[in-house]
Structure 1
């Protein structure tokens, strides 16, 4: 079996109420291979009516699913985990085809994303409230955790499996039903995941998938319905703000995992070999197309030249090509707009005084490639230090003191992830306390872990995914006052 074989023609449609179905009007859209802009597959283009059908199915399944034993919910997730693990190669190839990342890296995403199913299969049986005596006596206080109800999940194109599993996993464990709208650039992996969950025994209507090119109409249709009780969105801050405003009318609960502008701080006492290795992880995961990607490299001036040289050597040695070609380190960006955006940011930085150590230009078509790039001498106020790059570019800016480094790092509206390289324990503690980010990686370029709470502050959103905190996003608390009489 190959990647596309996971999706026979009848599964390239909407998945509603346990059935594969065409869009109401029969419309479809093409999914492109970013390596050469060719058509990979054609999928259903859902309408507002299809969105309502999906929510109807989720609502119809909600009560029975909420009453399903936690152990049974957990076993379904565990079965899905085993199925995904057995099909890692095929899922990795499918993901590589539609998103562009190298197959080896895609396999890493499958393994990481699948761990959310294993983690929450174990958390399903650990949902609990509490019991206590009232402080004044005469009554008992009981709290009960209940599933929040039908959910809407909007997932991004850059991690087609993992961004779905870390929402679906806790929702299934908590007893919630859901409608999922995957990104129109990468819907195939999510459709394959729906088939696997059905095979694992997930009841009809618990998971519904609506692929569409018209995301605004779908979200507006669903979020105006009082039956929808929860929205979880991963994507841009601009879209996230719009969804938060939409949610106000129905007071839906929201989880927002939005944009980032991660600083990567390198101090003069750092192990430079470890810092360069960490930089490669933090920058080049997913070709830089990650909200956790190191966006600004803030390096103490005494080691900036050496760090830039070493990083340039590593970046320059990477092989750019199709994700399915053996030996490829860096695949294409998602589309031509992404290439244009990265090109503009780099060109503006160079015009402002930055020096190109390696790379600095887009690759030749027909695919959407950009060369791994390192820039030194980047002005602090350059646009490339203010915006998410979402590409394989490492801009280096210098600082002199720790206070200056913290000020530069926090000088952004975003607050998702940050990275620090130093051998000074006291400095590590000071920075962890002073950096205004939801996550701080110390001497590591990788912060994502299913057992840890993933999320940000400020314009990077709110709510947490993963860890013990992840399932709480899908639970309401009911307090029961029990009078006790003699």
Structure 2
């Protein structure tokens, strides 16, 4: 009890220190990273000390100025003037007008413009990847990989632009044709989160564009520089092709802008990526006006390891899934179910692997693990570790804040908790992995599904029958169901999304394009007669 009390008091002191660091003095604002020689590449992205955060064919912004900070060193990078509600109204009007022009452009031509966007992103991939590392905090290879996702989805969308459409169906009536006609929904609002500030916009933007939609993007306020830099690249391509820049409008802002988008009937589809709590409010608000929403929300993802698993695959997979992006992916593994016969062996090997993680500056190419995004995230990490210990868990690795500048915490392994502990059922956006024992396939499949979210899941086994039971109706209830690979790291060719409290939305590949379009069933009579369906006679 004395040891636990000491740990709790230590957490209290850490919280006070973290809160104090959030109160940045005015002098701290005087030196921006953008003005330092080692960050000169920021200006190559078109960024400056104060950036306009509204684009609708022209750049502007009349809202408050928000300075973004590097989570690795707490230093200010640059600032962005956010949108006012007047800016929002002006921008949405321009976006709706731009859609009228864009919808008339043939889909393959739209695809050609999206191809050019992808090529422009390729040319700036290292600088954009570095900006993701600097402003969001993920390591450089992940930052570059995120921009690569946008490039890849542009390539995918180019091909799709020559393939979208509906079938010609057999009609039961002679001299009649039955077809499905697909048309763009109109204006797609895109609200993205801090953890994937480029890729998630890309998934939505590239597919929405080739479908004939205009886009209105609101990124996270803490990654506003990324939103501005990406939009500058996209805007130049639109302007070079002499189509309205407002086709890809940007509106940097906070809750007021997001709420306006959810309420606005002129937003024909609202794609929201974020927490389940906020996503629920977005869904209710959009549904009140009978609008469409596409939700990508939280995940409490599990890896299940059976006794016949190849541990040479398990250890690196669990490591990447749990600590990649410092545990801030929606697909991060938060629960690791180990068969009781291999539990101790896997925990020992995993702890040794954790000890070899290179923590450091995300821009350093040798770093494997960077900071959390904000001080608030560090506080949530500490609270979760404290709750896990209170509920009977044992921290076998990590559990502490790293004593340095920035938002660094130790990647953490917790054992000894029951599968239904409240903290295990709580999604914490931090690198905490709860390791749990199981005995039978039946119980662990049930435990995988007992949380409210249903995003990603994975099993490690060589049993072919078990694999197909896992993929089947009584197996995992998630939208991403993997075998012998991590829970994170999805490819763009498949539909991405989850079930239950994850929201049910699907983005990226497969037939996700259908969510950005409206479908009409059309019957065409090319005969001189008027037969009715089902053989009805009306004479």
Structure 2 residues not aligned, in runs of 5+: 1-39, 529-539
Question: What is the match of residue 503 of structure 2?
Answer: 461
Question: What is the match of residue 40 of structure 1?
Answer: 77
* SS of equivalent residue, structure 1 residue 299: strand
Superposed, 1:62-101 pairs within 5 Å as: 62-101=99-138
Superposed, 1:2-81 pairs within 5 Å as: 2-9=41-48, 12-23=51-62, 25=63, 27-81=64-118
Superposed, 1:163-242 pairs within 5 Å as: 163-201=200-238, 203=243, 204-212=245-253, 214-215=254-255, 217-242=256-281
Cα distance between partner residues in 2 of 1:400 and 1:249: 46
1:124 aligns with 2:161: yes
1:242-291, CA deviations, whole angstroms, 9 ceiling, x for partnerless residues?
Answer: 01111123321111001100011001110011011111221122111011
Q: Are residues 4 and 293 of structure 1, via their aligned partners in 2, closer, same or farther at CA, if it must alter by over 3 Å?
A: farther
Deviation at 1:179, TM superposition (A): 0.9
1:380-426, CA deviations, whole angstroms, 9 ceiling, x for partnerless residues?
Answer: 23333111122222210100000110111111111011011111010
Deviation at 1:443, TM superposition (A): 0.2
Cα distance between partner residues in 1 of 2:135 and 2:363: 11
Deviation at 1:197, TM superposition (A): 1.1
Cα distance between partner residues in 2 of 1:18 and 1:122: 27
Question: What is the match of residue 440 of structure 1?
Answer: 481
Cα distance between partner residues in 2 of 1:173 and 1:17: 19
1:255 to 281, 294, 306: 294
2:369 to 313, 330, 354: 330
Residue pair 2:418, 2:436 contacting (<8 A) in 1 also = yes
Superposed, 1:385-396 pairs within 5 Å as: 385-396=424-435
1:143 aligns with 2:184: no
Which stretch has the larger CA shift, 354-363 or 452-461? 354-363
Residue pair 2:138, 2:369 contacting (<8 A) in 1 also = yes
Residue pair 1:316, 1:359 contacting (<8 A) in 2 also = no
1:476 to 502, 518, 527: 518
Cα distance between partner residues in 2 of 1:326 and 1:430: 41
Superposed, 1:262-273 pairs within 5 Å as: 262-273=301-312
Residue pair 2:79, 2:225 contacting (<8 A) in 1 also = no
Cα distance between partner residues in 2 of 1:386 and 1:104: 31
Cα distance between partner residues in 1 of 2:261 and 2:297: 20
1:314-373, CA deviations, whole angstroms, 9 ceiling, x for partnerless residues?
Answer: 111112122123422111101111111111112222233322222111112431111112
Which stretch has the larger CA shift, 339-348 or 144-153? 339-348
Count matched residues.
Answer: 482
Cα distance between partner residues in 1 of 2:461 and 2:97: 54
Cα distance between partner residues in 1 of 2:430 and 2:170: 56
Which stretch has the larger CA shift, 468-477 or 346-355? 346-355
Q: Are residues 72 and 337 of structure 1, via their aligned partners in 2, closer, same or farther at CA, if it must alter by over 3 Å?
A: same
Normalised TM-score (structure 1): 0.96
Question: What is the match of residue 37 of structure 2?
Answer: none
Which stretch has the larger CA shift, 8-17 or 37-46? 8-17
Superposed, 1:236-385 pairs within 5 Å as: 236-385=275-424
Deviation at 1:100, TM superposition (A): 0.8
Cα distance between partner residues in 2 of 1:112 and 1:284: 20
1:4-58, CA deviations, whole angstroms, 9 ceiling, x for partnerless residues?
Answer: 53133398213332211122x5x21111111122211110121211111111111
Residue pair 2:61, 2:84 contacting (<8 A) in 1 also = no
* SS of equivalent residue, structure 2 residue 435: strand
Deviation at 1:481, TM superposition (A): 1.8
Question: What is the match of residue 399 of structure 1?
Answer: 438
Superposed, 1:394-433 pairs within 5 Å as: 394-433=433-472
* SS of equivalent residue, structure 2 residue 161: helix
Normalised TM-score (structure 2): 0.86
Cα distance between partner residues in 1 of 2:374 and 2:277: 20
Q: Are residues 10 and 62 of structure 1, via their aligned partners in 2, closer, same or farther at CA, if it must alter by over 3 Å?
A: farther
Q: Are residues 208 and 11 of structure 1, via their aligned partners in 2, closer, same or farther at CA, if it must alter by over 3 Å?
A: farther
Residue pair 2:50, 2:78 contacting (<8 A) in 1 also = no
